[in-house]
Amino acid sequence: MVLKTRLLAATVRLSTGAVRFADLSGRLIAAEKSIGGRSFEPAVFEGKPLWRIRQTFSTMRGEAIYGLGQHQDGLVNYKGYRVDLFQNNTEVAVPFLVSSRNYGILWDNYSIGAAGDVRPYQPLSSLRLFSDKGEEGWLTATYKSNGVGEVSQPASDIDYEWLGDSKRLLPAAFDAAKGSVVWEGALASGVTGLHVFRLKYAGYLKVYLDGQLMVDRWRQAWNPGTALVRVPLEKGKR
């Protein structure tokens, strides 16, 4: 079925409901994936039966995606990244994106959601980890308080996004406000390809990979930020 206006034509595939927008010359503007472009799945949230919905549009090579509100990832072009849409301190969700191909999409939904590459981030322990001495299964974490009281122990989980996480992951005697933590070792992936690492941090943060400084930032502790690192990894290579 085709609906035309003075400027564009909208085509709906009746068998799947997929929509396609083009100008009157037939040049494609935006289109849903023809197969599997939308889904409605039952879900339970806070004990209530709800629905999880998804709609997928195809993008073009070289296309940039802008908008989606105020976020802390340090990005302007969100193509290829996940953007969580929720309201929080320093986070403002605006479910409207604008493409460099001169169209926009409004996701008219006030629920918590995600846009872009919506695959959830996996914990660091989903990779193969090695300590600074080559032991497999963890990194070596060294905790220093005021340069004294140094403690080293295995660590396979580096996830301090919420205040309660520090009580769960940090040594009881460690004073985070007056100390520093260094994680050392190696990692390897089970697949070859581009990997995106997401770090939530406050205070000072430095990240080195193979001796190269990848991240060097400072952030007020009451206002945590996010750092993203894109790394091409070869299967099995540390």
**pLDDT tens digits, residue range 46-62?**
899 999 999 999 999 99
Listed residue (175, 174, 178, 130) closest to 155, CA to CA? 130
pLDDT at 130: 97
* Alpha-carbon separation of residue 127 from 25, 78, 182, 193, 213 (angstroms): 49, 25, 19, 13, 21
pLDDT digits (tens, 9 = 90+) for 83-120: 999 888 888 999 999 999 999 999 998 888 999 998 88
Distance CA 159, CA 146 (A): 23
Beta bridge partners of 218: 204
Averaged confidence pLDDT in the chain: 90
Average pLDDT over residues 192-202: 92
Structure tokens at 58: 């195809």
Ordered structural domains, the chain, with CATH: 1-58 (no CATH), 59-120 (no CATH), 124-233 (2.60.120.380)
Q: How confident is the model at residue 210 (pLDDT cuts 50, 70, 90)?
A: very high
Classify residue 112 as exposed, middle or buried by CB count within 10 Å of its CB (0-12, 13-18, 19+). Answer: exposed
Distance CA 7, CA 5 (A): 5
Place of tokens 């905790």: 143
The sign of the dihedral angle between the CA atoms of 183, 122, 85, 227 is positive
Give the residue, 213 or 174, on which the prediction is more confident: 213
Check pLDDT > 90 for residue 170. no
